[in-house]
Amino acid sequence: MVLTTRRRTLLGMGGACSLGLLGTSAEALAAQENGRKLGYAIVGLGTYADVILPRFAECRHSRVTALVSGSPEKARRYAAQYGVPDSGLYSYDTFDTIRDNPDVDIVYVILPNGMHHEYTLRAAAAGKHVMCEKPMANTAAQAEEMIAACRAAGRKLMIRYRSHFEANNREAMRLARSGELGTLRIVTAEHGFNIGDPTQWRLNRALAGGGSLMDIGIYSLQAARYLTGEEPISVSAVESTDRSDVRFREVEDTINFQLVFPSGVVADCVSTYGSHHNRYRVVGTQGWLDAEPATAYEGNRLRLRREWRTADHPAPELALNQFSGQLDHLSQCVMTDSDPIVPGEEGLRDMRIIEAIYRSAREGRTVAL
Ligand code: NDP
């Protein structure tokens, strides 16, 4: 009975196929029901780790068992707060010995983008499954190596695209792809914020891989892809960066891009470090949906226009929020040997399109994908 309920919850999130749970063996599901929680090692105790760590308390299948940090003092403080034993504390130098820690099943890389590649490779070499933050890497070539390393080690690799686990975004995907808006015509997606401290790693090319597109514009790109359920066939982009602004010596500020999809849908996307945006809109022949904020940590809002009426459209609630839902999803995929709905290949697709966006802006022409 419990099993049935759990299954139904997951099906409600997006269908067993897309969640990789079809074909799950009875033994694997039974193991899942035994209540064993898989152990996560958090690598990098920064701002986003602060968002993630409290979420383990809501998880059914995940717990935090190790911390990796350049600051032993901070690691000890977090360990006391989240109940991590001394034996689970690592520095970047001692990270590879994590292979000997049986309480760590999954390594979650929450480091600056430019370090994702190295720590994913080291985690796979240590025999651990990997959750990696977005953007997956600095380049598509690095992303390919990360996928190959995890595959060779027989480990799972999932990219932390949290919107795939958030109720409103899942509902927007369903509405957009189901035909309830008619034939899709136009998507607009805007993501940005006014970036501050010029010394932060997000403005350092080696650590960030690029500017607003790598950090926040990637949400516009993701939205265009998951709302349409299609892969773009061409991209044209325009960059606007004031290079005399001390923040933008190494990376771009604004880079707006247009994606054309095989069905004819066109997506206009904003990516900027100059102003605040968090919104998307999908327009079909029979109506539209509008989300603002669209991909925030909380308080996302969806409106729908159909049959000449516009109204708020609260999404059906999910059993878990986007943070704990995503942690548990990878744990379940490991326990049942199934594929995550946002695997390394999903991150690689974005990296290839991101490189095409940069090429288009640089060369001033449309780039075919
Ligand atoms: P922070 O700068 O707040 O934290 C990064 C942490 O990485 C630092 O605190 C530090 O931890 C460690 N680190 C190791 N080497 C360096 C270095 N050379 N420079 C800076 N930090 C270093 O970044 P965020 O937490 O905001 O971002 C981390 C990752 O998470 C990024 O890839 C980002 O894109 C992603 N992210 C994803 C979000 C999402 O919603 N999915 C939201 C926010 C970020 P320590 O001191 O413990 O060594």
Q: Is 240 in the same domain as 153?
A: no
User: 225 CA distance to ligand 1 centroid (A)?
Assistant: 26
pLDDT for residue 34: 63
Indicate whether residue 340 lines ligand 1 (CB < 6 A): no
Please report the atom of ligand 1 found closest to the CA of residue 50.
25
Whether residue 344 is contained in a domain is answered as no
pLDDT tens profile 47-75: 999 999 999 999 999 999 999 999 999 99
Please check whether residues 150 and 176 belong to one and the same domain.
Answer: no
**Are residue 229 and residue 115 in the same domain, yes or no?**
no
- The string over 243-277, giving b where at least 16 C-beta atoms fall within 10 Å of a residue's C-beta and e elsewhere, is eeeebbeebbbbbbbbbbbeeebebbbbbbbbeeb
Residue nearest to atom 4 of ligand 1 (CA): 46
**Is 134's C-beta closer than 6 angstroms to any atom of ligand 1?**
yes
183: domain CATH number? 3.30.360.10
Question: Do 364 and 228 sit in the same domain of this protein?
Answer: yes
Please tell me whether residues 210 and 146 are part of one structural domain.
no
Q: How far apart are the first and last CA of the chain?
A: 47
- Listed residue (246, 257, 294, 272) closest to 193, CA to CA: 272
Q: 89-90 and 62-68 as β-strands: parallel, antiparallel, unpaired?
A: parallel
- Indicate if ligand 1 lies below 6 Å from the C-beta of 43: no
Digit-coded pLDDT (tens) for 227-286: 999 999 999 999 999 999 999 999 999 999 999 999 999 999 999 999 999 999 999 999
Residue 112 in any domain: the answer is: yes
> 123 and 104, same structural domain?
yes
Residue 346 included in any domain: no
* Mean pLDDT calculated for residue range 180-198: 98
Report, as an integer, the average pLDDT of 149-178: 98
What pLDDT does residue 29 have?
A: 53
105 and 26, same structural domain?
Answer: yes
Active-site positions? 134, 219
In a domain, residue 343? The reply is: no
Q: Are 279 and 294 in contact (CB under 8 A)?
A: yes
Mutation pick for ligand 1 pocket among 48, 118, 201 (CB with most ligand atoms within 8 Å): 48
Helix, strand, or coil (residue 119): helix
Task: Reply yes or no on whether the pLDDT at 22 is more than 90.
Answer: no
- State whether the beta carbon of 137 lies less than 6 angstroms from ligand 1: no
Residue 363 pLDDT > 80: yes
